[in-house]
Structure 1
Amino acid sequence: MPAMDEAFWATLDAQITAQRPEAEGRMPVAPVRPAPQVPALKSPPAAMPTAPSRRLASDWTSVLDTLTAAKSAAQQQEMRLREQAAEQDALLQELKRAQQETRAFEVLLRECQTQAEAKLKDVQAQAEARVRDLRAESDAQLQALEARAQAAELRAEAAEEWLRRIEQASRDLLPAAERAAA
């Protein structure tokens, strides 16, 4: 933008210098950037015809029109920049809120994971304890059943022994002739 400002002021200086009545006999001077204020026009000499003043006034009018247009464009640009800045601020605030929500969800997720891991460990410990209890109970029942089975076998053997003895005693009670046939 500084290059545009310098070119604008240089062009404006050249136009003003060309319009001055005392500049008609001189060589054009290299443009020098004046202060940002617009110089006041001197009144034309009374001996000058009115045609150059009209031309000078119309040139100043076009310069003022240019300045007005530039000011309007600058104001519009400034308004657009303010709107963009407001939009960026709104987007930035929305981004910050989204980041805060994301952090909150991450914390909540970590808490849920921690709770889930603790619950899983608790359930696993309960399951292992229940499995141990069931194994111990089934082992005890199996041992009781094995003991009952052994006792039943012993009773069966004892019963068979008694039955053999009873059979032997009943044979011994038979007369001798019948003993030989049996």
Structure 2
Amino acid sequence: MAAIDEAFWVDLDAHILANRSKDLAAPSSGVFNLSPLINASAPSGAPPTSPRQVASDWTGVLDTITAAKSAADRQENRLREQAAAYEALIQELKLAQNKIKDLEVLANEVREQTEKKQHEIMAGAERLRQEIQAKADAQLQTAEDRIRAAELRASVAEDWLRRIEQASKNLLPGERRAAA
């Protein structure tokens, strides 16, 4: 029933075209004549079919139309379901994209905070290094100053000791002076 052969439709179209001019020329009696339709469904050279067979052919056409309508409705329902599924997927995709954007913003903020903290730590370490270096330089300078002062005192002390020794030699009577 679902498949009516193509020859039927071709023969029907040809018969309608051929008989159209005859039907237009014939006087209208108000009664529908099924004989052109009956003969149209029969293959050429076949005996004419009865009106009951033509009615069953038209019933078959109605069955075909009903089946096509049912198939179209099923297809439309499938398309609606697919559209709903696609819409749900699109919404999920948009949510995922928004989450990704939010996570990218968060990652950027964390990266910026990390870089800022790293710069702060590096600056603090540099300040601490400079302070330690300054203290070490100051201590070294102090030690060098003390060494110089000690060397100067030692030099002055040696000079005084030589003078004292010379003065003490000068205080000795003349004969002992020559022996010393």
Superposition TM-score tier, normalisation by shorter sequence: 0.5 to 0.7
Query: 2: distance between equivalents of 1:81 and 1:166?
Result: 123
1:99 aligned partner? 97
Aligned-residue offset at 1:175: 7.9
Query: 2: distance between equivalents of 1:98 and 1:27?
Result: 66
CA contact 1:171–1:179 (8 Å) conserved in 2: no
Instruction: Give runs of aligned pairs for residues 63-102 of structure 1, distance below 5 A.
Output: 63-102=61-100
**Percent of aligned positions with the same letter in both sequences?**
48
Unaligned runs of 5+ in 2: 1-5, 22-31, 36-48
Deviation digits for residues 31-78 of structure 1 (CA, Å, limit 9, x no counterpart): xxxxxxxxxxx6979xxxxx6122112201220221122112212211
TM-score computed with the length of structure 1 as normaliser: 0.64
Q: Which has the higher contact order (CA 8 A, sep 6+)?
A: 2
Instruction: Give runs of aligned pairs for residues 1-182 of structure 1, distance below 5 A.
Output: 11=9, 15=12, 27-29=18-20, 52-168=50-166, 173=172, 176=175, 179-180=178-179
Unaligned runs of 5+ in 1: 1-7, 31-41, 46-50
Aligned-residue offset at 1:129: 2.3
Structure 2: which amino acid aligns with 1:176? E
Deviation digits for residues 102-160 of structure 1 (CA, Å, limit 9, x no counterpart): 12112212322332233233223322322332232122212211110111101221232
Aligned-residue offset at 1:167: 4.5
Specify whether residues 174 and 101 from structure 1 end up closer, same or farther in structure 2 by C-alpha distance, changes over 3 A only. farther
Aligned residues: 149
Cα RMSD after superposing both structures = 3.5
Query: 1: distance between equivalents of 2:126 and 2:82?
Result: 64
